[in-house]
Amino acid sequence: MPTSQPGDSQPSRERATPDNLLHTRTGTEVSPEDMVLATGRDITPRNLAWAKRKLDEEGPTAIEKLLP
């Protein structure tokens, strides 16, 4: 039975996702629903109102603060 070595769980540089592919923006509009779902919350009137305020204040880049 093989045993794992201490360095086996680290991804190789060849397999790591490049930073330019990790951005959340797709060039499309970010909706309040997108914002709510990005936080893991349920879509409720209260959460949608929060998300709309956030988008109004910070613009579509507000979602970047919620997602890695």
Question: Are the CB atoms for 17 and 35 separated by under 8 Å?
Answer: no
Question: Are the CB atoms for 66 and 35 separated by under 8 Å?
Answer: yes
Q: Specify the higher pLDDT residue, 3 or 15.
A: 15
Residue 61 has pLDDT above 90, yes or no: no
Q: What is the pLDDT of residues 11-52, one digit of tens each?
A: 555 666 666 565 555 566 889 999 999 999 999 999 999 999
Q: What is the pLDDT of residue 64?
A: 86
Q: What are phi and psi of 9, to 5 degrees?
A: -85, -5
Coil, strand or helix at 50: helix
Q: What is the pLDDT of residue 20?
A: 59
Residue 65 has pLDDT above 70, yes or no: yes
CA angle 5, 6, 8 (to 5 degrees): 65
Q: What is the pLDDT of residue 31?
A: 92
